[in-house]
Structure 1
Amino acid sequence: MINILMIEDDLELADILIDYLDQYNIKVTNYESPELGISALRIKKFDLIILDLSLPEIDGIEVCRMIRDNHNIPIIISSARSNIGDKIACFSYGADDFMPKPYDTQELIFRIKSILRRCNFDIPSTPESQKKSIFTHVQDKMEILKEGELLDLTNAEYHILAYMISKAGFVISREELLSNVDSIKYESTYKSIDVLIGRVRSKIELNTRKPKYILSIRGVGYKLVNE
């Protein structure tokens, strides 16, 4: 199993990544305090670090420098701060990769494994049963299948579910849906998004009162579970 140290003060995001990466034989231990994360690095063995920049107590760029001064371990920066100055500083202090938030969880997995391969790390295989997706988006036919069965969706339902599939595993705000789903007018209300999500749920969930695939994240938006 790959062991990752994450320093991230967004605990909701951390929990999502911990649960998602665990399916791929990647164990993540998160610390919201950079000092605790650095201390853990001294006493435990980790294969890679995922580091946020906007942290309490110590800025993430300084944390990157402190880690690199004492440890030869791959570092992936995961941050909403994506200006060129921050990127240059991180790479100057020894970061191996920089992923601007929000990003696709699948891309994060690929980058983790790519970096570890370059470090001659023996990547454990992931059981095939864990790689299968519930929903398949056939873009050229504008079709979405659930476990191989074609879903009967309206235009708006198709586009919103297609976008959620592209962001599977990540929390998606209502504002993000309004901005990125072509079939939804930006002047629409958050209530109209909730109604549309309800319609999609009625076509993919066995029990809409206890949804299994489209989860509500209180105060934020929704998350699609695709495995």
Structure 2
Amino acid sequence: MKNLIAVIILSALSFGSYSQEEADNSMEKKFVLKFCPTQLIAGEFNFSYEQRVARIISLELEVGPTISQFGLNFGNQRLWRSDLWEFDAINPDADAAIGFHASLAPKFYPTSQDNELKGLYLSPMFKYRTYNYTVEDVTGNLDDQRASLSQAMFRFNMGFQFWPGDGNFSIDMYFGVGLSTFTIKDRLVDNYVDNQGYVQSQWVTNTDTGVRLNVATGLKFGFGM
């Protein structure tokens, strides 16, 4: 009888330990798929995938299309073009087109429990973004051309990710500051007189480059497990 009681007690303790271990493991996360609606203000459709690669370290990839002249972004030449910012502007006759963006960022969770992708994180980010435009010759003599505004960015982000109710839904809030280079390749129509005295038209490229402060803040909603 004593042996039977001992077996029952040991079984109960073993089951309790196993259940606790299962509960603890349920918090572990391997990956998160996210969408960042706040980046729409920058003309970005921002989708990201975060993959755990070590105990408190993950790697996040962001990709998606961009739309020039959408939102308040640097690529919206209707907002940025003025006498003061003329060197930043695309041809005023340009029409919006589709571009792209991509970034890669390791993320470190110094206060998180093992493998949870949860809590405060620090993240250096490398990002490339292009806004494209279609430039038309108003006379109709030349074919349409593409203009672009490209940015290469390095930013240091700090954020906080949590899982409401310890479920599979995540919320990621972040703020970052850094520097970005920009390259503008505009297309303009140049009229010239040929050897026979006729006025001809041709496309010429106008290029401008520079460096700017880059600041971003946002909110990502995700699903992971």
Scaled to the shorter chain, the TM-score interval is under 0.3
TM-score by length of 1: 0.20
Whose helix fraction is larger, Structure 1's or Structure 2's? 1
Higher relative contact order (CA 8 A, sep 6+): 2
Whose strand fraction is larger, Structure 1's or Structure 2's? 2
Structure label with greater radius of gyration: 2
